Structure 1
Amino acid sequence: MSATDELRADHIQVRRLEKIVFKCAEELKNGEDIPFSDLTKITIVISEFVDTIHHSREEDSYFPCVASHDSLKDEIHKFLVEHEFGRNVAKKIHHHLKRWKAGEDARESVSRYLKTYAVFLNDHLNKENKFFDDAEEKVLSEQEEIDMYEQYRSIFAVVKKVEDMIKEIDYLESCPWYQK
């Protein structure tokens, strides 16, 4: 396996989350009740898996390695901006969910920002998958791919956290509101 393959594997899980987030937004918009515990799980997976693990793998290792070849720098810059956009939308989801839990009517805001996040993920993943193809084919050496992959897998706590986040995604997919 390579670093690019590992990031693609992350994308498979993030794509599952994207579908959950979109469905959740639609159900809320349609007046359906979704437990706050499930909404909280969604925000946790966004924060701990998408941002803390996946985006940090890209930002701290993958993108710098690709950029060191003086290649694809414009694309990398755009992805960094998009990551920041995603973080800001996730903060808005969290903020409005907190308001809603406190008794304010924030259903529409939570739904709207969830939908925004799902649209962001769809667009972002499509572009990054193309980027991975280009980086793998034209830029990264086999040894660089192996070294980054080993770096990703060497931190057991991160590997365990990814497994935990996949279990949370499994749980959310099994929820009655998602199964509708």
Structure 2
Amino acid sequence: MSATDSLREDHKQIRRLDKIIIKCYTELYAGKNIPISDLEKITIIIEEFFDSIHYSREEDSYFPCVASYDHLKQEIRALLIEHEFSRRIAIQIKKHVKRWKNGEDAREPVARFLKTYSTYLMDHMKKEENFFDKAEAEIISKEEEFEMYEQFKSVMTVSKKMEDMIKEIDYLEKQNWVQN
């Protein structure tokens, strides 16, 4: 496996979560109830998986490697701006879930920001996939791919956290509100 393959594997998990997010905001807009604990799990996965693992891999290793060849710098900048946009949406989701948990009616903003996040995710991943294709074909050597992948694997706490996040996605996929 290569670093690019690893990032594409992350995208598979992200797509799984996106299906849950779509189901969640659809159910919320339909007036159905979603357990606050499940909404909190979604926010944790967004924080822990997207930001702490996936974006970190890209921002700390992958993008700098590609940029070192003086290529795709505009694309990298655009993706970094989108990562920041993602973080801001995630903060809003978390804020409104917390309001809802504390007794306020925050159904609409939770649904709205989840829908916004889902829209962002699909667009962003398409851009990243195109970026990966270019980087893999034109810039990064097989040796660099292997070295970055080894670096991704060497951080055991990240590997454990990744396993935990996949288990959380598994859990959410099995919930009645997702299955219906």
TM-score, reference length from structure 1:
0.99
Provide the C-alpha distance between the structure 2 equivalents of 1:18 and 1:121, rounded to a whole number of angstroms: 8
Cα displacement (A) at 1:130: 1.0
Partner of 1:46: 46
Partner of 1:90: 90
Q: Which amino acid aligns with 2:46?
A: I
Output the aligned Cα RMSD: 0.5
Partner of 1:131: 131
Cα displacement (A) at 1:151: 0.2
Over 6 Å off, 4+ runs: none
Cα displacement (A) at 1:99: 0.7
- Residue 18 (1) aligns with residue 18 (2): yes
- Residue 106 (1) aligns with residue 106 (2): yes
* Number of residue pairs aligned between Structure 1 and Structure 2: 180
TM-score, reference length from structure 2:
0.99
Provide the C-alpha distance between the structure 1 equivalents of 2:15 and 2:121, rounded to a whole number of angstroms: 8
Question: Per-residue displacement from partner, 1:62-89 (whole Å, max 9, x unpaired)?
Answer: 0000000001001000000000000000
Cα displacement (A) at 1:19: 1.1
- Residue 62 (1) aligns with residue 56 (2): no
Question: Per-residue displacement from partner, 1:131-152 (whole Å, max 9, x unpaired)?
Answer: 1011000010111000000000
- What percent identity do the matched residue pairs reach? 62
Q: Runs of 5+ in structure 1 lacking a partner? A: none
Cα displacement (A) at 1:23: 1.0
Cα displacement (A) at 1:9: 0.4
Cα displacement (A) at 1:16: 0.8
Provide the C-alpha distance between the structure 1 equivalents of 2:131 and 2:86, rounded to a whole number of angstroms: 18
Question: Per-residue displacement from partner, 1:93-138 (whole Å, max 9, x unpaired)?
Answer: 0001111111111100000000000110011011101110110000
Q: Which amino acid aligns with 1:68?
A: S
Q: Runs of 5+ in structure 2 lacking a partner? A: none
